[in-house]
Structure 1
């Protein structure tokens, strides 16, 4: 179902499968310590969707949840440990990791929490100190 309206995704082993439909509310890179620690990588490529745009189509009983804070409910496959997405109830959005959506035309438009970066990226995109104002952040930009 990879088309203009929807894309398929899955965990590492394929036990959990899902679709995202419509258009994401945003795409970018997160450099915060929490995302780096969770992903075991220096940066996390995110796509933000309205919760109703994300549908688990297989393996819902294999989805585990962990929340370190009430701001983020991280989801993964309990079979393989593959990361799936993070629900952000305060924002009313779900972050589906770009890497787990098949053939998705990912186009980052912003870097968030760039003040915490461990991997500077000079790509001309806006670099936010924390989050944009519309997402509850300061809206301050930092130098590339």
Structure 2
């Protein structure tokens, strides 16, 4: 599967996901992604490679040893790494190809925001809601 940042400066390839896709609602993911949760999956380092733009990457240490890597041009977060961990955490929403699976679990439920309806009983639209 291939993936990229918003501006296309950074591109990567993933051979396979190493975990189910999950939604993470931890405080740092919420702040870093400016969203109620981050959708992610583990990927083994040997199954991940940068194709172009690696020199455009910046990183931020959001907690001891955890580096969030993002495009220095557009700010898209792409992966995070942590010292001693056997996998990278891939930001699934930046995949350009379909991972052929859907999210299977939510983590950090204790950090979920009160204003978000995490159930799937709300109206859904392919793009904008009618009349917008």
Instruction: Say yes or no: TM over 0.5.
Output: yes
Q: Distance in 1 between matches of 2:51 and 2:79?
A: 14
1:108 aligns with 2:82: no
TM-superposed CA distance for 1:52, in Å, is 1.5
* Contact 2:17/2:41, CA 8 A, preserved across alignment: no
After the TM superposition, list the runs of 4 or more consecutive aligned residues in structure 1 that deviate by more than 6 angstroms. Answer: none
1:82 aligns with: 76
TM-superposed CA distance for 1:108, in Å, is 1.4
Q: Alignment RMSD, CA only?
A: 1.6
Q: Distance in 1 between matches of 2:85 and 2:28?
A: 17
* Contact 1:86/1:94, CA 8 A, preserved across alignment: yes
1:11 aligns with 2:19: no
Q: Distance in 1 between matches of 2:8 and 2:90?
A: 16
Gaps of 5+ in 1: 1-6, 124-144
Q: How does 1:24-35 map to 2 (within 5 A)?
A: 24-35=18-29
TM-superposed CA distance for 1:106, in Å, is 3.7
TM-score w.r.t. length of structure 2 = 0.81
More contact order relative to length (CA 8 Å, sep ≥ 6): 2
1:59 aligns with: 53
TM-superposed CA distance for 1:104, in Å, is 2.4
TM-score w.r.t. length of structure 1 = 0.74
Deviations 1:12-50 (A, max 9, x none): 100000000023323201011100000000011111111
* Contact 2:39/2:92, CA 8 A, preserved across alignment: yes
TM-superposed CA distance for 1:72, in Å, is 1.8
